[in-house]
Amino acid sequence: MLENGCCVASTVPRLHQALQIDETFDIGTVSNQANSRVDIERRDANFPRQLQAIRRDAIKVAFGKATKSRTRWKRRVTPSLEDREENQNQSSFSKYGIVVMLGESVRNPNRSIDSVLKELKNAFAHVLNWSVSDIHVEKINFRGNIIELSFLQSENFGNTAFKWRVPAQDILSFPGLLEKLQEDLPGLSIRHVTHDNGIILAVYDAPFWMQPYFPYVVAGGCIFIIFIIGIMFFVCFSHYTKASLEHEDKLDGFRGKLHYQTQQQVLFPAVAPDTCPPLAVQPCSAPLFVPVGFATAHVPAQPMRIRGKGLLERRGSNASLTLDLNPSPEMGRWDGTPPKESTALEYLMSAGNRLSRRDLRNAVKNTKILYEEFWEIPMNHPEKVTVAGSGTKNRYKTIIPNEHSRVILPNTDDDPLSSYINANFIRGYEGEQKAYIATQGPMAHTIVDFWNMVWSQGCPIIVMITKLKEKNKPKCENYLPDHRGLYGDVEVTIVKIIQKKGYVVRHIQMKCRGETRLLLHYWYTTWPDHKPPDSPSMLLELVNEVELRRFKQDSVTPQGPVVVHCSAGIGRTGCFVAISIGIRQLREEHSVDILGIVCCMRQDRGGMIQTHEQYDFVHQALSEYEHTLGEPSIQSLTALTSE
């Protein structure tokens, strides 16, 4: 706070003149006591005369020597303060205004005006050791880079507090003011701090959301909106309740009428048969027409109750309800979606949608139809597994192998659990048995079972379509050694590693009980979980290479089942198998039945191809492969039609 004082001893006559103190007051006593405290304050000639008088009289009150004329002093000080405020209002503001020129505008959209002004006031308060509440923003120019401030100073006299404006010269005389402000506020780029030079400024008013009443306005508005919503909800609920009651009354009336009609009996007159020549029999009491010469006895009409036929009688017999779940060789697949009344197994065994090459190109353009077709396919997940304790060997609780196609490991310990692995045989093109093995990603305690399955089934190829971790979640355990590893009785050795675009090929040598076999391991790492890749090109290259290498030298006899796994063994695994079978079908028949392929796979392992995006991706991949095929020859078309 700026220190501004007065020399009491040298200005006692002025104090007497300003306050018009009574002659009974002992001014000499005050002067002698004030002379002993000359070092309390220093005089500042710029302060008004009334201010000096107020300060001197404050000293008298502090010393306790003004008790006699205290009442008269208070009465005479008040008019002087009113005169001072009136004089200040009438005088120019330039005497008290401090103009701060900034290097940038406070009307910056990246920061609010109030935050900038608050920083500016805090900087002045810190540099001058001033109270922030006594610094006021008076005006801001239109561009927002010039701000006018005023400073107040307060004094307490007894129980009364007084405030007055401090002249601008007193503030500007503070040494190093501009440099210290620039140091505290480097972001505002303060250029000048000077007097009010008559620059056109706009009066600054705090926005309404900064006013103290704003929270109450918001709270009241919220309460009003909640009240209106409550009334609307009550009215709607009352209308809905009334409509529901009316609807129930109508239904009750209709049910009563229907119940009355069903309880009625239908009566027809019964006529006994006659051995006479046939007569025209009329119902009810209508007259009977008989030939001339024949007499007829009157037969009274007898009521006859007719019993309604049951469902089995209307269908003919209950034999028509028996379903033969064993398909005959002559029965083919439906051309399209089976009836809704069919069971899941019937659907999977009969559904199909044969697409020509042109139909396949058109199908990928209408994904909505493909999505609807996919969601109609039953998942065929089994409810439980017959092997007790097998849940510990399943990566996911809901993904378990179907029993009829489950891979069973060689059991040497007479323990059913040791023969269990979450894997299924999948049929290939034209019903090729055990063409593929779809399995889950091995876990830490099932790696030995995995290699035991690969050896016992004579698998020539392993296709891995997952990363070890995806989104910080474990998807598969690393079952490949760095160079050589022993897994149970199977010794695995990495012979060679070949890096290709999108996947890695490992040549592996396996040894078990003195026998040696070679194995190819393909690791495709660019396929995200539950989503298809951006382009099927790299996957098609992998599928073609696997299809080429899984057969023997005669290109007809397969070497053994191809092991395919991702994390759960149904999503990406199903896509790979479906594309492999579809490529073979396109190449051999120049048409493809993707719906039938998926249904056949789900018969062997439930849930194959998890999402509709994956189902669409299979169509996209086969459509891209179809572009690489040439036009079919006349001989091949003739052979297909003859079959």
User: Any idea what the Cα angle at residue 447 is, between residues 443 and 452, rounded to 5°?
Assistant: 140
As a whole number of angstroms, the distance between CA 587 and CA 632 comes to: 9
SS (H, E, C) 546-559: HHHHCECCCCCCEC
Burial 207-222 (b: 16+ CB within 10 A, else e): eeeeeeeeeeeeeeee
6, 566, 575, 599: the catalytic one is: 566
Compute the CA torsion angle 385, 323, 603, 590 (nearest 10 deg). 180
> Is 512 annotated as catalytic?
no
Burial 383-417 (b: 16+ CB within 10 A, else e): eebebeebeebbbeeebbbbeebbbebeeeeeeee
Helix (H) or strand (E) holding 421: strand 420-426
Q: Tell me if 610 is assigned to a ligand binding site.
A: yes
Q: Tell me if 603 is assigned to a ligand binding site.
A: no
Contact predicate 540/579, CB 8 Å: yes
Q: How far is CA 179 from CA 129, 185, 189, 350, 604, in A?
A: 16, 10, 11, 89, 83
Q: Tell me if 314 is assigned to a ligand binding site.
A: no
Q: Tell me if 529 is assigned to a ligand binding site.
A: yes
Q: Tell me if 569 is assigned to a ligand binding site.
A: yes
As a whole number of angstroms, the distance between CA 516 and CA 266 comes to: 86
Compute the CA torsion angle 416, 418, 420, 421 (nearest 10 deg). 180
Q: Tell me if 567 is assigned to a ligand binding site.
A: yes
Q: Tell me if 256 is assigned to a ligand binding site.
A: no
As a whole number of angstroms, the distance between CA 595 and CA 333 comes to: 11
Q: Tell me if 566 is assigned to a ligand binding site.
A: yes
Q: Tell me if 391 is assigned to a ligand binding site.
A: no
Phi–psi pair at 151, nearest 5 degrees: -120, 135
The set of residues, in sequence order, having a beta carbon less than 8 Å from that of 242 and lying 6+ positions away, is none
The set of residues, in sequence order, having a beta carbon less than 8 Å from that of 390 and lying 6+ positions away, is 400, 417, 420
Query: What residue spans of 500-642 are helical by DSSP H?
Result: 537-549, 571-589, 594-604, 612-628, 634-642
SS (H, E, C) 337-402: CCCCCCCHHHHHHHCECCEEHHHHHHHCCCHHHHHHHHHCCCCCCCCCCCCCCHHHHCCCCCCCCC
Tokens of residue 326, six digits: 């064993």
Residues that are catalytic: 566
- Residues tagged in the binding site annotation for substrate: 529, 566-572, 610
